[in-house]
Amino acid sequence: MDRAADAAARWHVHQRRKGAAEEPYINHLLELATLVQVQHAHKKSRGAKILKLADKTSNLRAIAASPPPEWSVKRRLEYVEWARKVSQGLTGVSDWLEREFDQAAKEAERSTVFRR
């Protein structure tokens, strides 16, 4: 994990997330690794589903905490709706991660009430 994080940090050193805070992209990758690591995926198809669900969860958290400044409330809500549709095909791989996703989606929706 340490070598992978080091390589990712070097490869993505100049990338930033789209949110207003412009966090380093490596933060997103490390969050994905943390979410996936908990699950210890054994099968590739299951692992791919877990990774995709972790990615969507991380993206929703970022939208709630630091949405891209050019994204309107409508655009953010459309992303939440789309992410929920994607997640429907990812059920049954991790109850914990599914709860994390649901919470992140709710927080992303709530964030639109206060940040217009």
Report whether 28 contacts 17 (CB < 8 A): yes
CA distance 17 to 28: 8
pLDDT tens, residue by residue, 30-43: 777 767 654 443 44
CA distance 18 to 67: 7
The residue that leads in pLDDT, 41 or 65, is 65
The residue that leads in pLDDT, 91 or 111, is 111
Mean pLDDT of 84-94: 88
Indicate the pTM of the whole model.
Answer: 0.70
* Domain ranges across the chain: 2-114
What is the predicted pLDDT for the residue at 2?
Answer: 65
What is the predicted pLDDT for the residue at 44?
Answer: 54
The fold adopted by the segment(s) 2-114 is Hypothetical protein af1432 (1.10.3210)
Distance of CA 7 to the CA centre of its chain: 20
